């Protein structure tokens, strides 16, 4: 049963503002500022873009009983839209998600659903478009709900900020439900470890929010000691000896001290023990989430000597969420080197706006050649990155998503979702594109060189012709799809 369209307008905006104000935001917290589930029978502020017709329905729901149905579309950009200017604040990071599902009875299409923001910068007349998230091609069906989710940070003053859900299929009909905007608040507390205490054997660094002590611990055979024989500041430092591998040394649990998507300054003062030959030290972070482990270099290899203290420092953007986060100080090659560390510090680095009072590279080089850069789907979700690209670039190229393997993973399957997202970003923002090479010894999927049973092809004339046919089919499918925006391959 469908219920009539309702646009609460000012009432909805007021409710959203009150919802946002209701949260006291602790450090490193996530506060939900918008949640639309359509259980009250209204569209909760959503409106139809173009010819799109919206109706609250109980025919399908991701949560509860209701969802928002979209029909009557005649162009890809038609669909449900929401004015998010009252709730999205400049320079804050948000996680945005929505559940989507196709209405049953539609023909199977090479279709992608996307979540996009239409943005008008203050003082400008043209709109800009920021991609938030996209499904895989044919990744949304009538059989189950799929979540579109991405992050967004607004870095400009705006007079318009409209979020909408669209589809590459001009007439595709779909439901949306369980829409959420959640503010991600970075931990800005940082820490300084100066080792000027006997607490916990002199290995204490800071007290966590849960009241527990965070102490330096040895990895492998390393032996840690708080000593007075060397110090950068004060009278003490931490010494690491007994190492038998480059990864062994001091480690510190820093879970909760860095928030996904935010940048931090890490500094370590280091010195080799007397008699050790010059070598390089670095810091890495071991990050785990749901059993998956990743290692990230924070401070790259830095030359260190026994003659003086060396400042090691770098900026680092936390790449993802974590349920385990450990900072490690290690050597690049000297597996047994002994060393000291002191005045280890982590501090929050606020976002830096792009510089706009300088000439644009594309204008300076207009008489010589075009200027471009490589982008990915995650990068174009950043309004700050988008503004930087628009200011300086004429053209862009996709990083991974336009290569043969990701765009055509099996002979019968094309995954145009990420590729379409980047192409539409270029179209909407007046940028041209350069396509990836089609014939390359890298990133060509294995199925191109195998038979229907998955067995490697033998070098026969018939198989050579089969591979050429597959290459030609791929090229003839991909090129026309992007012919209007790609200037060269």
Confidence of residue 219 (pLDDT cuts 50, 70, 90): very high
For residue 20, what pLDDT band results from cuts at 50, 70 and 90?
Answer: very low
Angle ∠(180,381,161) on CA atoms, nearest 5: 60
Answer yes or no: are the C-beta atoms of 190 and 135 closer than 8 Å.
Answer: no
Give 33's pLDDT tier (boundaries 50, 70, 90): confident
In the three-class reduction of DSSP (H, G, I as helix; E, B as strand; rest coil), residue 389 is classed as helix
pLDDT value at residue 381:
64
- Does the structure show a pLDDT above 60 at 4? no
Token pair 């270029």: residue: 426
pLDDT tens profile 243-259? 999 999 999 999 999 98
How much of the chain, in percent, has pLDDT values that exceed 70? 92
CA distance 288 to 299: 19
Question: What pLDDT, on a 0 to 100 scale, did the predictor assign at position 142?
Answer: 92
* Best CA proximity match to 41, nearest among 52, 56, 20: 56
141, 176, 181: which is closest to 56 by C-alpha? 176
- Provide mean pLDDT across the span 91-103: 91
Written as six digits, the tokens of 406 are 């990701």
Looking at residue 456, the DSSP 8-state letter turns out to be B
Q: Which segments within 350-424 are labelled E, that is strand?
A: 372-375, 395-398
The tokens of 196 are what?
A: 């000027």
User: Which contacts of 475-481 are long-range, i.e. CB under 8 A and separated by 24 or more positions?
Assistant: 475/438, 477/408, 477/414, 478/407, 478/408, 478/435, 478/438, 479/435, 481/416, 481/423
pLDDT at 23 over 60: no
pLDDT attached to residue 386: 80
The C-alpha angle 299, 303, 304, rounded to 5 degrees, equals 100
Structure tokens, 193: 């470890």
Strand duo 250-253 + 279-289: pairing: unpaired
Q: What domains sit in the chain, N to C, each tagged with a CATH number? A: 32-183 (2.60.120.260), 191-348 (2.60.120.260), 361-482 (3.20.20.80)
Residue 28 has pLDDT above 50, yes or no: no
What distance in Å separates the CA atoms of residue 475 and residue 473, rounded to the nearest whole number?
6
Q: What CA–CA distance (Å, rounded) separates 41 from 483?
A: 44
Mean pLDDT across 364-389: 82
pLDDT tens digits, residue range 414-461? 888 778 888 988 998 889 999 988 888 778 888 999 998 889 999 999
Task: Identify the residue whose tokens are 């007079």.
Answer: 159
| Length of the chain counted residue by residue | 489
Bridge partners, residue 158, by sequence: 121
* pLDDT > 50? residue 70: yes
Share of the chain above pLDDT 90, in %: 62
The average confidence (pLDDT) of the chain is 88
With bands split at pLDDT 50, 70 and 90, how would you rate the model's confidence at 30? Answer: low
Least confident of 84-98, 217-231, 319-333, 458-472: 84-98
């Amino acid at each position: 049963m469908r219920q009539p369209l309702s646009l609460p307008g000012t009432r909805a905006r007021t409710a959203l503002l009150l919802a946002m104000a209701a949260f006291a935001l602790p450090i490193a917290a996530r506060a939900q500022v918008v949640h639309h589930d359509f259980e009250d029978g209204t569209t909760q502020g959503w409106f139809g873009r173009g010819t799109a017709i919206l109706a609250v329905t109980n025919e399908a729901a991701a949560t509860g009983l209701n969802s928002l149905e979209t029909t009557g579309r005649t162009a890809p950009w038609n669909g449900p839209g929401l004015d998010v200017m009252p709730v999205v604040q400049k320079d804050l990071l948000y996680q945005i998600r929505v559940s989507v599902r196709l209405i049953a009875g539609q023909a199977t299409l090479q279709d992608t659903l996307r979540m996009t923001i239409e943005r008008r910068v203050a003082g400008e007349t043209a709109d800009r478009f920021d991609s938030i998230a996209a499904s895989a091609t044919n990744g949304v069906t009538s059989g189950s709900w799929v979540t579109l989710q991405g992050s967004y940070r607004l870095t400009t003053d705006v007079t318009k900020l409209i979020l909408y859900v669209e589809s590459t299929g001009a007439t595709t009909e779909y439901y949306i439900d369980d829409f959420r905007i959640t503010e991600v608040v970075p931990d800005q507390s940082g820490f300084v470890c100066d080792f000027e205490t006997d607490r916990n054997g002199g290995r204490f660094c800071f007290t966590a929010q849960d009241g527990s002590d965070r102490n330096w611990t040895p990895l492998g055979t390393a032996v840690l000691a708080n000593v007075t024989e060397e110090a950068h500041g004060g009278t003490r430092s931490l010494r690491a000896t007994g190492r038998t591998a480059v990864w062994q040394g001091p480690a510190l649990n820093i879970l909760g001290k860095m928030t996904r998507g935010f940048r931090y300054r890490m500094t370590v003062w280091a010195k080799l023990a007397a008699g050790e030959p010059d070598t390089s030290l670095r810091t890495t972070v071991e990050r785990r989430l749901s059993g998956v482990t990743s290692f990230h270099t924070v401070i790259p290899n830095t030359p260190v000597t026994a003659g003086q203290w060396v400042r090691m420092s770098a900026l680092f953007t936390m790449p993802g969420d974590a349920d385990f986060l450990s900072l490690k100080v290690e050597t690049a090659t000297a597996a047994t080197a002994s060393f000291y560390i002191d005045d280890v510090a982590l501090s929050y680095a606020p976002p830096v706006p792009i510089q706009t009072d300088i000439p644009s590279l594309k204008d300076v080089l207009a008489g010589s050649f075009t200027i471009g850069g490589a982008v990915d789907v995650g990068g174009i979700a950043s309004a700050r990155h988008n503004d930087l690209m628009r200011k300086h670039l004429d053209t862009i190229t996709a990083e991974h998503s336009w290569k043969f393997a990701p765009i055509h993973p099996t002979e019968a399957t094309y995954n145009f979702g990420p590729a379409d997202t980047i192409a539409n970003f270029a179209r909407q923002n007046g940028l041209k594109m350069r396509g990836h090479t089609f014939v390359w010894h890298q990133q060509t999927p294995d199925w191109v060189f195998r038979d229907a049973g998955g067995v490697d092809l033998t070098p026969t004339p018939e198989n050579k012709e089969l591979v050429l046919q597959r290459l030609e089919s791929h090229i003839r499918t991909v090129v026309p799809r992007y012919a209007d925006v790609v200037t060269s391959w």
